[in-house]
Structure 1
Amino acid sequence: MLDTLLLAFGLMLILEGLLPMLSPRRWRSLFEQMLQLQEGQIRFFGMLMVVFGLLVIWLLA
């Protein structure tokens, strides 16, 4: 179980690092746009990511 969790964490780090590595200007622009969002918008986006992640895990498990 721990191995799978660490593998998933490693994959997440790879995916999260692709945009800043390949296009740092675009990443900076996206990050600046995210800073302009209201807290409720950020929470909603986070909730969507959690629900989507749970859906993917449910479909694959």
Structure 2
Amino acid sequence: MADLITALGLVLAVEGLLYAAFPEGMRKAMLTAAQTPADTMRIVGIVCAVAGVGLIWLMRG
């Protein structure tokens, strides 16, 4: 459970830094994401989730 909370904290920290450092870039990224078809977003989400699980599996072995 501690690892999950640590991971969520890291996600919040990274996203917060991105919004603070590149507010216009993040705004453009959100607009692009809003215009992206749902099927494309779903595929990208699945690929990212699989890559994340794979990375964790490699590191935690």
* Alignment deviations for residues 11-49 of structure 1 (CA, whole Å, 9 cap, x no partner): 111112221110101100111011110000000110011
State the AA in 1 paired with 2:14: L
Which aligned pairs between 1:1-61 and structure 2 lie closer than 5 A? Answer: 2-61=1-60
TM-score normalised according to structure 1 size: 0.90
Q: Percent identity?
A: 32
Q: Distance in 2 between matches of 1:46 and 1:16?
A: 17
Q: Distance in 1 between matches of 2:48 and 2:22?
A: 22
Number of equivalences: 60
TM-score normalised according to structure 2 size: 0.90
Q: Distance in 1 between matches of 2:29 and 2:39?
A: 18
Point out where structure 1 has 5 or more consecutive residues left out of the alignment: none
